[in-house]
Chains A and B, each alone.
Chain A
Amino acid sequence: MKRVLLVFILSVSVISLLSAQDFTKILKELDNLNNFEKSDFTAVYTIITQKPGEKDSVLQARVFRRDREDLFLILILQPEANKGQGYLKDKDNVWFYDPSSRQFTFSSLKENISNSEAKNSDLTRATYSDSYTIEKTEEGVLGKIPVWIISLKAKTTDAVYDRLKIYVRKDRTMLLKEEAYSVSGRLMRTTLIPKYVELNGKLLPSQIIIVDELNPGEKSQITLTEQSVSPIPDSVFKKEFLERVNK
C-alpha cells in the first residue's frame, strides 16, 4: 500500500513539474514571438482612443526596435500637435523629446503614450518569463477557442502590473487576452488581440484593443502596419535623430 502511495505521489509531482515547465515554455514562446533578438523591427502603430463624451483621438507613431541592444525609438507622426515628439530608450533611460521646447526629459516605460490607454511598454518587447512567476494555470474557452488561462505574479516590483492573467491559445502559442491587475488586486485593464500577421515566421499582433476597466467606455485600438525586420541604421537610436527629424 505504501509503495502504491509513493508511486502515486511521485507521479503527481513529476506531472506537476512537467506541466509547470510547459507553462514556463509557453511564456518564453510568447516573449519570443514579440521579441526580435536577431533582427531589427519597425512598424507603424495607429492608436485610436475612445473616451466617453469626447471625440475619438488618433495617434500614429513609428516604432524602431533593436531588442538585442535593448534600444527603441518611438516617433509620433500624428496628430499634428504631437508630431515630432518621441521616446528614446537607451538601456535604463527613457527620454521624451518635445520639439516645441527642443528639450529631452526623463520618461518611463510606464507612461501612457500621449492621451491613449497604451503605454510605452505596450510597443516594446514582452518580458513575461523574466518579470513574472506562474501562480495558477487553468483551462478555459475564449469565444469558441480553447485556451490556457495562466495567472502570473510579478517577481519584483519592477513590473508595471503586480498580477496578470493571460489567455493563450492551446493549439498554437498565441496570446489572445491579457488582464492586468493592481497591487490591491483590482482589474485595471484588459488587452485583447483579435488579429495576427505572420512576419519572417513569427506571429505578430496586427490589432490590439486595450480596455480601461476603471473608467468604463475608455478604450484604445492599436493597429500595426508597415511591419519590417530590415536593418535600421545605428543613427536612429540617438537623441540627434529626434532633433534632426524635426528640422
Chain B
Amino acid sequence: MKTHVTIALRNLTRQKKRTALLAIAIAFSVMIVTVIYGLTSAISVNIAENFSDILGGHIFITGSEKHGTSKEISRISNDQALRDALKASGINYSYVSSYSSTFATIIFEGKTTSLLINGINIKENENFRKRLSLKKGDWESILTTPNALIVPEKVAQTLNVEIGDVVIAKIETVYGQNNVGEFRIAGINYNADLVSQLSSYTHTAHLNEILGLLPGEYQTFAVRLPSLKETDAAAMKYYDVLKNYVQVFDRKTEANGAPMTGFQALLRSQKKESWEGVKYRLFTINEQLAQIQQFVSAADTIGTTVLIILFLITMVGINNTFRMIMYERIKEIGTMRAIGYQQKDVKRLFLLEAFFLGMIGMLAGFLLAGILMAIVSSINFGMENEFFILLRNGHITFNLQFAKIATIFIIVSILTLLAVSLPARKAAKLSPAQALGTEK
C-alpha cells in the first residue's frame, strides 16, 4: 500500500502544470461552495441574534386565558412565577424584558397596509436602539414622542409617509374588539429581510393602551441569554422547571409533516385545547424564525446544487485528463503488469492519484475560502445600511459547520473517484502484451 501511495504521489508531480490546473479547478469549486455555506449559515445566526437584540430575548413566554367559550386572550398580568421558575432553573441569563405585539392595518391618506406592531420598552432597551438601524428620524425624538412609530422603509414607501406624519391603525384589543389608535411616524428603519419588512415598533405603554391591557400587563416575557447557541438547551431546562410553577402548553418543535413550521404547529395544536386560568406557551427565537431557517435550508440546497454542477463540469476535465494519462502511461502499465502487478493494483494507483489530486484541490479550496472570508469579514459596512439585519456589528460573518465541510469533502471525493473510475478500470483491464504492444 505504501508503495502505491508513493507511486501515486510521484505520478502527480510528473506533469506539474496539468496537476496544478486540475487542482485549481477543484479548489475553485470548493472555495465557492464553502463561502456560500459559511455565509448562509451565518446569516441565519445573525438575523436571529439581531432579532433577539431587538426583542430583548432568546426564550419567550406568552400567557393565554380563555375568555368566554372560545376566545383566547394573550396577556401576562403577573410574572412572578415566571421569574421564580427562571431563577430555580439555574439558567445563566443576561436579563429579562417584556413586550407586546399585534397585527394592525395602518391607514394613511387612502393607502393601507398590514403590519406587525411591537410595543418595546425603547427607553430601557439599549440593545434595541443599537440594533435597529434608522434611515430617517432620531432616537431622541422617538423617546420623547409617546405615540412614536418606527416603520420599515418599504412600509414608508407603500404608505408614502415621512417623519412627523400621523397614521391611524386599526387594531383588535386582546379581547377581540375593534379599536383605532393614532401613531406619529418618528423613525424609518432599513429593512433587508421578510420579517423586518413586516415589523414596526412603538412604546409598550401606547400599544398596551390600544390593546386594552392594564398598566403593568404585557404579552411576552423575554429571557436574554449570553449567546444564541445556548437557546435550545436553556429553553428545555427552563420549560422543565416552569411546568412545576404554572400551567404550560406542551412544546412542539416539529410540524409532524404538515405544511407549516414547528411554531405554527404549536399554535395550531393549542387552539384545540381548553383550560382554566392562565396557561403559558414557551418558545424560542429559533422557532419563531423558522421561516428564515427554511430560507437558509433552501440556500444550502442551492449551494449543494452549485457544488455538484461545478463538479460535474470539473469531472469531465478530470475524466479526459486521466484517459490521456492512461494512454501516456500505457507502456508503463504493461511493464508493471508484466512484473506482477495485478489489475486491482493498477486500478488502485489511478484511484489513489485522483484521491490525492482531490485532497490537494480541496485543501487549496478551503484555504482560499478561509482567506476570502477573512478579508470580507474584516470590512466594516457599518450599521447604517439596508443589510444591517444580515450583518453582525456591521460585518459580514461566516459560520462554517463541521457537517458542511464533511459534506463538501464527501461529495468532492466521490465525484473525483467516479470521474477516474472509468479510465482506471480500462487501464486495469489491459493485458501486459496488449499494453506493451501499443504504439503511442
Contacts and interface: CB of A to CB of B under 8 A. Distances in A.
Residue among A92, A158, A161, A183 with most chain B CB within 10 A: A183
A219 to B, nearest CB: 13
A145 to B, nearest CB: 28
Given A110-B172, A216-B110, A182 B67 contact: no
B341 interface: no
Given A215-B110, A216-B110, A161 B176 contact: no
A199 interface: no
A93 B178 contact: no
B309 interface: no
Interface string B89-126: 00000000000000000010010100000000000000
Given A92-B70, A217-B110, A160 B180 contact: no
Given A154-B177, A184-B179, A214 B107 contact: yes
A154 B176 CA distance: 13
B71 A188 contact: no
Contacts of B107: 214-215
A233 interface: no
A20 to B, nearest CB: 25
B170 A183 contact: no
A110 B176 contact: yes
A93 B173 CA distance: 20
B271 interface: yes
Contacts of A110: 172, 176, 178
Contact of A157 (B70, B177, B180): B177
Nearest to A185: B180
B285 to A, nearest CB: 26
A157 B175 contact: yes
A214 B170 contact: yes
A183 B168 contact: no
B70 A182 contact: no
B82 interface: no
B168 A161 contact: no
- Which residue of B69, B173, B178, B179 has the most chain A CB atoms within 10 A of its CB atom? B178
Contact of A159 (B177, B179, B212): B177
A52 interface: yes
B215 interface: no
A201 interface: no
Interface in B155-175: 168, 170, 172-173, 175
Nearest to B272: A106
Contact of B177 (A53, A160, A216): A160
B266 to A, nearest CB: 15
B216 interface: no
A184 B107 CA distance: 16
A160 B71 CA distance: 13
A93 B70 contact: yes
Nearest to B209: A184
A8 B168 CA distance: 49
Contacts of B212: 157, 183
Contacts of A180: 178
Nearest to A94: B70
Contacts of A179: none
Contacts of A217: 110
Given A92-B69, A92-B70, A93-B70, A182 B178 contact: yes
A53 B178 CA distance: 26
Interface in A200-214: 214
Given A160-B178, A161-B178, A184 B210 contact: yes
Given A214-B170, A215-B110, A188 B178 contact: yes
Contacts of A52: 110
A162 interface: yes
A81 B85 CA distance: 51
B317 interface: no
Given A53-B110, A157-B173, A215-B110, A182 B71 contact: no
Best-surrounded residue of A93, A157, A180 (most CB of chain B within 10 A): A157
Interface string A50-89: 0011000000000000000000000000000000000000
Contacts of A156: 68
Contact of A182 (B69, B112, B180): B180
B180 A214 contact: yes
26 contacts: A52-B110, A106-B271, A110-B172, A110-B176, A154-B177, A157-B67, A157-B173, A157-B177, A157-B212, A158-B68, A158-B71, A160-B178, A162-B179, A182-B178, A183-B173, A183-B177, A183-B179, A184-B181, A186-B180, A188-B170, A214-B107, A214-B168, A214-B170, A215-B107, A215-B112, A217-B110
Interface of B: 67-71, 107, 110, 112, 168, 170, 172-173, 175-181, 210, 212, 271
